Structure 1
Amino acid sequence: MASAIKTRKTATRLLTAVAVLSGLVLSAAQANAATPAPRTEASAVTATLPTVNMEATVLAAQIDPRRADNTLTPGAKDSVLAVERALQARGLLDAKWVDGYFGTTTITAYAAYQRSLGYTGLAANGLPGTTSLTTLGQGRYTVTQQIGPGAHVQRDGYTIDTRTQKMLTEAERLLGFSLTLDQGSYNPGGDPTSAGTHDGGGVVDVNVDGMTSATRTAVAKALRQVGFAAWVRSPSQGDWPWHIHAAAINDTDLSTQAQNQTGDYYLGLNGLANHAADDGPRIPIQTWEEYQRTH
C-alpha cells in the first residue's frame, strides 16, 4: 500500500511539473507573438526614404523647360524636389534652384551628373534614366514607376526602340490598318529638315501616301491616344512632303529637340520653330504608361 501511495505522489508531481513547464512555454510563445521582431537599421532607413516617381519626373523634365513661367508639372513636385536635393548634395545645383521645377538649370545639372557617371550622347541628355536616377538616389530616395525605351528593333528598314514599336502596334490596332514609316529613330544628322528630332529614340515619321485628309487626322489621333505627340505635317510648313511626325512622350532616349517638342505639345503648341498653336486633333494627353493602365 505504501508503495502504491508513493507511486501516485510521484505521478502527481510529474504531472504538476509538466503543467508548469507547458505554461512557461505557452507564456513565452505568447510573449514572442505579441512582441514584433525588432527592425534592423537598414529596414528603418528604407521605410523612411521618400519615393521618386520616374514617370512624373521625366515628364516634368520635358515640359518645365518649355514653360514661360515657373508653373510646376502636376504630380511631379515632390519627386523633382528629391532629385534636386540629391543634385545639390553633389554640388551640381545651387540651393535656389531646388524648387520642384525641372527647368533648364536642373536639366543642365542632371546632364552633368550623367557625365560624371561616364555617360555620353543620349545617355547624358539631362533626362533621368533608370540607372542614373537610382544611383543618384542611393540613401536618399527610392524610384517607383520606372520606365525605359527597351532594346533597339527594326521596322520598315528603320531603327526604333521596343517601347515605340509597342505604341505603333497599339495605334494600328485602334485604326484597323497598318502604318509604314518614312523615317525612324537614332538617326543623327540623317535628315537636316528634322532639326535633330530623330537623332535619339522615340521619334518616327509615318508615311501618308494615298491617305485622305480625314484618314491622316485619324492616324494622328490614334498616335496621340497611345502616347505620342503627333502632328500632320504639310509641305507648306517646311521642306518636306506630307507625313505625320510623332514623338513618344517620356521616351528617355529623346534627343533634346524631341524633348522640346513633347513639352510644346503639352503646352498646346505645334512642335515647330514658329511655336504656333497645335493644329492637330485635341484629345486628353497621356503617356504610353498611362494609356496602358486604362486599357
Structure 2
Amino acid sequence: MKTFKTRGALTALLATVAVSGGLAAGAVHASAAPLKPTAPKAAVLPVVNMEATVLAAQIDPRRADNTLTPGAKDSVLAVEKVLQSKGLLASQWVDGYFGTTTISAYAAFQRSLGYTGLDANGLPGKTSLTTLGQGQFTVTNVITAGAKVQRDGYTVDSRTQAMLTRTEALLGFTLKLDQGSYNPGGDPTSAGTHDGGGVVDINVDGMSADTRTSVAKALRQVGFAAWVRNPSQGDWPWHIHAVAISDTDLSSEAQHQVGDYYLGMNGLANRAPDDGPRIPIQTWEDYQRTH
C-alpha cells in the first residue's frame, strides 16, 4: 500500500478534494436555480408607405370600380383601421380602397386636429398621417411639399420648384410660368386646380407644336401630370398645365386631375382620353430613385 511521505502532502490532497467537491456542489445548485422570466416582445406595428397611400388617395376616388391601387392595399388598410377605431369610418369601408368615403373620413380626422380648408381636404399630409399613426402604425416614404418660394412672380412650393428645375435641365432651356400655385379664386377658368400647391401653367409663346410636346413630355418624366392646353378646350390661351403628382398641398380639383391622368384621361371636365405624350407614369420620388 502506497503511503504519503509527509503530513504536508496529505493536507494538500484533502484541500484539493474539498475544493473540487465544493465546485461540483455549487454547479448543481446553480443549474437548479429558477430562470428569470423574459419580457414579452413589443408588438410590431404595421407600416404605412406614405407615397403609396397618397397616390391611392388621388386615383381611387376617380375609378369607376373598386380596383385597388397597386402596392397601396396594406398601407391604406392600416389607415382605414385606425379611422374605424375613431368612429370615422364604417367597417364595410375598411377594404384597402382609398375612395371617396375614406377621403371624407380622413378629412373629418384632419378637422378634428383643427385643420381647415386646404389642410382638411382628405389627402394625407405628413403631420396628420403621423398623428393618426401614433401607437398604431409607422410611416415610411414621407412626402412633403416644402416651403413656399417665388418663381417668375408666382408662388410655388419647393418640391414643385425642384421638379421644374429638373425639367429645364432635361430640356436645356428655361421655362416661364403663366400661373403659379396657392392662388385661391385667382383664375375662374382654372376650376380650383391652382388653389393649392403643386400646380403651374407654363408659358408657350414662341414654341412650335413639337417643342410644346417635348416640354409636356419632360414634365411628365419628372412626375407632373402635364397637358398642352389650347383655346378650343376652354377660355384660355395656349399653355401647358402641369400638376405635381402626390404634392400633399394639392387642391381637391388638382387631385382629381392626377387621378384621371393615371386612368388615361385628359384632366378636363369632359374626361376625354389623354391627348398628351404617353410615357410610363411616375412620381417625383420615383424619378429621384432612378436618376
Instruction: Please state if 1:167 is matched with 2:191.
Output: no
Instruction: Please state if 1:120 is matched with 2:90.
Output: no
Cα RMSD, aligned residues only: 2.8
1-structure distance, mates of 2:193, 2:130: 27
Per-residue CA deviation, residues 10-49 of structure 1 (Å, 9 max, x unaligned), is 9x97xx89xx8xxx9xx9xxxxxxx9x95665xx12x3x1
Q: Detail structure 1 runs of 4+ shifted over 3 Å in the superposition.
A: 37-41
Residue 179 (structure 1) aligns with: 175
Which runs of no fewer than 5 residues in structure 1 stay unpaired?
A: 28-34
1-structure distance, mates of 2:39, 2:202: 55
Look up the SS of the partner of 1:122 in the other structure: helix
2-structure distance, mates of 1:231, 1:220: 6
**1:289 pairs with 285, 288, 291, which one?**
285
1-structure distance, mates of 2:39, 2:96: 32
**1:270 pairs with 260, 263, 266, which one?**
266
Given the superposition, is the C-alpha separation of residues 39 and 180 from structure 1 closer, same or farther in structure 2, using an over 3 Å criterion? farther
2-structure distance, mates of 1:232, 1:91: 44
% same residue: 76
Given the superposition, is the C-alpha separation of residues 39 and 151 from structure 1 closer, same or farther in structure 2, using an over 3 Å criterion? farther
Residue 252 (structure 2) aligns with: 256
Look up the SS of the partner of 1:149 in the other structure: coil
Residue 131 (structure 1) shift:
1.2
Instruction: Please state if 1:68 is matched with 2:64.
Output: yes
> Structure 2 counterpart of 1:87, which letter?
L
Residue 5 (structure 2) aligns with: none
Larger radius of gyration: 2
> Structure 2 counterpart of 1:112, which letter?
A
Look up the SS of the partner of 1:174 in the other structure: helix
Structure with greater helix share of residues: 1
Residue 3 (structure 2) aligns with: none
Pairing of 1:178-257 with structure 2 (within 5 A): 178-257=174-253
Residue 9 (structure 1) shift:
5.6
Per-residue CA deviation, residues 174-212 of structure 1 (Å, 9 max, x unaligned), is 111111111000000000000000000000001111110
2-structure distance, mates of 1:157, 1:135: 35
Residue 92 (structure 2) aligns with: 96
2-structure distance, mates of 1:197, 1:212: 26
Look up the SS of the partner of 2:226 in the other structure: strand
> Structure 2 counterpart of 1:138, which letter?
Q
2-structure distance, mates of 1:121, 1:224: 28
Provide TM-score, normalisation by structure 2. Answer: 0.88
Residue 31 (structure 1) aligns with: none
Given the superposition, is the C-alpha separation of residues 238 and 134 from structure 1 closer, same or farther in structure 2, using an over 3 Å criterion? same
**1:106 pairs with 98, 102, 105, which one?**
102
> Structure 2 counterpart of 1:199, which letter?
D
Residue 137 (structure 1) aligns with: 133
> Structure 1 counterpart of 2:55, which letter?
L
Which runs of no fewer than 5 residues in structure 2 stay unpaired?
A: 1-7
Residue 166 (structure 1) shift:
0.6
Provide TM-score, normalisation by structure 1. Answer: 0.87
